[in-house]
Structure 1
Amino acid sequence: MTTTARPLLSVRDLTMTFPGRRSRSAPVRAVDGVSFDLAPGETLGLVGESGCGKSTTGRMIVRLLEPTSGSIAYDGRDIGRLRQRELKPLRKELQMVFQDPHSSLNPRQTVARIIADPLLVRGASAADARRRAVELMELVGLIPEHVDRYPHEFSGGQAQRIGIARALATGPRLIVADEPVSALDVSVQAQIVNLIERLRRELGIACLFIAHDLSVVKRVCDRVAVMYLGRIVEIGAKELLYTAPAHPYTRALLSAVPLPDPAAERTRERITLLGDPPSPAAPPPGCTFHPRCPAARDICRSEAPALRIAVPGEARQVACHFPAVEAV
């Protein structure tokens, strides 16, 4: 999918800094200058290790967190600094699906009320809201007759379908899906991934799909952005990123994805990263990946690489002084 049309979402230099846990602790820079565009109807995967800032980025986009700096332009309008009252009319177009389906659903409300609440807030009648809730139950593959049950009566996969139905209630143009399948069994994950892909195709909704499982991201996304320690280190079309990853961190992530062919799995090279990710409260100088990078050189330890096009004419950007461009 191309992104030549005006982006539906345009994020520039987005940062989020949390204060240290103690009075004298260094602040934690959870997101450090993230920039990307998302076209109408496109799905962008945001991947990386736990703690890299993926979820924080998603929550800032829907304004569940207030950005420290940077801009968030939705449909050409900067929403990063809007007051909650000004943001309210846009809430119907920006929705979120959360990681843990059960913790994101009110256990004291029926499914009908959970799905209908966004419509009731916007002035719909109780009868119309309930009718729409029944329609959405059927759309996401649930039995409409179960609309008066409570969340604890559903499995994890069913509860996530309820969360998706709630997100769809207001007819959004953009959904942020924050690890929507990581808390589910593998067989259920496939069902939810297929559901998200089908709904995106049928309804034309743009999606920021946050995950750490690259095999899932490959299934549903048009483009992929790889985050490391609060920064995007590689972003581009999934075909390029999966066949010829340019950043050493991307190559390491892909080498950890299991292959379905046992013979290929035994013979392929596995890239092992040394040590743990540095603390975002005390990031290393230069390229933040250099302490774990097998190809780090002197410049990597002193100068932070900019996110730039690795190969002229290629729709892929890499933040690396020495990007690789050959296929793996």
Structure 2
Amino acid sequence: MTSTAQPLLSVREVTMAFPGRRRGTAPVRAVDGISFDVAPGETLGLVGESGCGKSTTGRMIVRLLEPTTGSITYDGRDISHLSQRELKPLRRELQMVFQDPHSSLNPRQTVARIIADPLLVQGSSAADARKRAAELMDLVGLIPEHIDRYPHEFSGGQAQRIGIARSLATNPRLVVADEPVSALDVSVQAQIVNLMEQLQQELGLAYLFIAHDLSVVKRVCDRVAVMYLGRIVEIGDRERVYTSPAHPYTRALLSAVPLPDPAAERARERITLLGDPPSPAAPPPGCTFHPRCPKARAVCRTEAPLLRIAAAGERREVACHFPEAA
């Protein structure tokens, strides 16, 4: 659900620059000045090609990475540069679900310890933490009696349920889900997506849902932000973005999503982008998409477009000199 309430999360002009691989080389701007809000109880989808900065953005939100510039405000408080000691009480409210369910779980720990760890860090007793872990296993559809098993004894979908249970241990308000279903079979993906929606309704969670599968994003998200080479090029309500994309990159991404109707699939236009995305270590001048854009003109090669309202009365913004008409 969308909301006009005060944002739970507010990201403003955030950048993340990593040092170059060799001494003296330019830094790599993995994220380059992005801004967005997430309202309480809302799901914002963050989509784009691999390497566009989606996961880096998610890790900055939960402060696994410290942004180079810009501000990240959670519940009215700037958390961009808080120390680890200052962040500790906030960790209860900001949690993350990782992409690979097995590699994100410690193979030497039992499920009981994996789920209870956040509670133990926050000061809960071992008995209370174990009891809570069993409750969470039941909540995410696992058998509580399996609490003393190890991660390798579970399937991929079950392991991801363990990861989700761990993220819920401290009763968070915002969960960053970094490609939570991309490593799973299609049938299991649907189960995990349904579980996340159910948990959102029951617990009032807000999600930042990072994915490259646009079909999944359409299913679960209220709003969608499209990233390209570290920047947001379009953001708005799901229905508007999917039915009438304004940015050429968004149109190209959506044209690659298979349609269930064979006749419609054959009849529609397939947009093929030329070349590979430029390196974030040496982005092109002007609009970073212009080397691959079928609509690029002279101004696109020299002037970077700003993210602005796509049309009067719309809750959608696009960074393009020549956006598609609604």
TM-score, reference length from structure 1: 0.98
- 1:186 aligned onto 2:186: yes
Per the alignment, residue 74 of structure 1 pairs with: 74
Q: Is residue 97–residue 175 contact of structure 2 (8 Å, CA) maintained in 1?
A: yes
Q: CA deviation at 1:128?
A: 1.4
The within-5 A match list for 1:143-222 is: 143-222=143-222
Per the alignment, residue 272 of structure 1 pairs with: 272
User: What is the distance in 1 between the residues matched to 2:188 and 2:308?
Assistant: 38
User: What is the distance in 2 between the residues matched to 1:33 and 1:229?
Assistant: 11
User: What is the distance in 1 between the residues matched to 2:46 and 2:157?
Assistant: 22
Q: Is residue 226–residue 250 contact of structure 2 (8 Å, CA) maintained in 1?
A: yes
Q: Please, what is the CA RMSD of the aligned residues? A: 0.8
Q: CA deviation at 1:26?
A: 2.1
Q: CA deviation at 1:325?
A: 2.9
Structure 2 counterpart of 1:100, which letter? D
User: What is the distance in 2 between the residues matched to 1:28 and 1:75?
Assistant: 30
Per the alignment, residue 227 of structure 2 pairs with: 227
The within-5 A match list for 1:59-138 is: 59-138=59-138
Q: CA deviation at 1:25?
A: 2.5
Q: Is residue 138–residue 144 contact of structure 2 (8 Å, CA) maintained in 1?
A: yes
User: What is the distance in 2 between the residues matched to 1:270 and 1:100?
Assistant: 31
- 1:37 aligned onto 2:33: no
Task: Give the match's secondary structure for 1:172.
Answer: coil
Task: Give the match's secondary structure for 1:33.
Answer: strand
User: What is the distance in 2 between the residues matched to 1:2 and 1:100?
Assistant: 29
Structure 1 stretches lacking a partner, 5+ long: none
Q: CA deviation at 1:127?
A: 1.6
- 1:18 aligned onto 2:14: no
User: What is the distance in 2 between the residues matched to 1:309 and 1:200?
Assistant: 29
Structure 2 stretches lacking a partner, 5+ long: none
Q: Is residue 46–residue 54 contact of structure 2 (8 Å, CA) maintained in 1?
A: yes
- 1:290 aligned onto 2:275: no
Q: Is residue 3–residue 38 contact of structure 1 (8 Å, CA) maintained in 2?
A: no
Q: Is residue 18–residue 30 contact of structure 1 (8 Å, CA) maintained in 2?
A: yes
Q: CA deviation at 1:2?
A: 3.8
User: What is the distance in 1 between the residues matched to 2:3 and 2:144?
Assistant: 38
- 1:239 aligned onto 2:239: yes
User: What is the distance in 1 between the residues matched to 2:113 and 2:42?
Assistant: 30
Q: CA deviation at 1:4?
A: 1.9
Q: CA deviation at 1:27?
A: 1.3
Q: Is residue 2–residue 222 contact of structure 2 (8 Å, CA) maintained in 1?
A: no
Structure 2 counterpart of 1:81, which letter? H
Task: Give the match's secondary structure for 1:103.
Answer: coil
Structure 2 counterpart of 1:218, which letter? K
Deviates more, 1:122-131 or 1:7-16: 122-131
Q: Is residue 2–residue 41 contact of structure 2 (8 Å, CA) maintained in 1?
A: no
Task: Give the match's secondary structure for 2:147.
Answer: helix
1:153-185: per-residue Cα shift (whole Å, max 9, x none)?
A: 001110000000000000000000001111111
> How many residue pairs are counted as aligned between the two chains?
326
Q: CA deviation at 1:24?
A: 3.1
1:35-72: per-residue Cα shift (whole Å, max 9, x none)?
A: 00000000000000000000000000100011100000
Per the alignment, residue 302 of structure 2 pairs with: 302
User: What is the distance in 2 between the residues matched to 1:170 and 1:194?
Assistant: 21
Task: Give the match's secondary structure for 1:198.
Answer: helix
Structure 2 counterpart of 1:106, which letter? N
1:116-172: per-residue Cα shift (whole Å, max 9, x none)?
A: 111112221222111111110011011111111000000111000000000000000
Task: Give the match's secondary structure for 2:184.
Answer: coil
Task: Give the match's secondary structure for 1:104.
Answer: coil
Deviates more, 1:68-77 or 1:18-27: 18-27
User: What is the distance in 1 between the residues matched to 2:8 and 2:144?
Assistant: 33
Identity %: 85
Structure 1 counterpart of 2:21, which letter? R
